[in-house]
Amino acid sequence: FDIDFDSDIIERTCKAGNRSCSSLSTENPFPAMLYDMYCSEPGFCRGCCCILCFKTISSDYDGYSYIQCEAIVDGYICGHVSHLDCALRSYMAGKVGGSINLDAQYLCRYCDSRTDLVPHALKLIKTCTSVASRAAIEKNLNVGICILRGSQKRNGKELLHHIESIKSKLMKGVCIQHAFKKEGCLDST
């Protein structure tokens, strides 16, 4: 946001110049934070730049390659985004022990809020059924495995088993449609 303190008008612009930036959307039920330590960086936009690598996120695969913090902080939605790959490499997502103690969760670097990643992993896998590229499907499956590996949550373990089963079938040459078939249904709760 650009703020003119001499007027009451707030102009919505993306500091990264991204025309499809989520900060330009008027659909958010909560106002976005108007200032934070990263927003003063030239070219960094909280709505479309990864808080870990500062590169623009991609909305490919319905936006499931990144996670957006939706925590409410001081009456505002945090809104900072991170590539899932960056969060996993930085030990800010997945199963992380020690003082962070994450279990299939994402820890926002800005506000320290936690987001459950099991529903996100489920959506990521569902997105695979509409992706034509086998390589892209395998990449999404691998991200899902990294998010869920080591989880103690029952639904996380079940989803991990399902993802590993799909990957195993694909490695054996089973066609994509058959690899994703499963008896029963998955629930993200």
- pLDDT tens-digit profile of 27-75? 544 455 544 444 666 677 777 889 999 888 887 656 678 999 989 888 8
Reading the block at residue 26, the tokens are 């008027």
Beta bridge partners of 114: 107
Give phi and psi for 15, each to the nearest 5. Answer: -65, -20
What's the whole-model pTM score? 0.77
pLDDT attached to residue 160: 97
What letter represents residue 42's amino acid? P
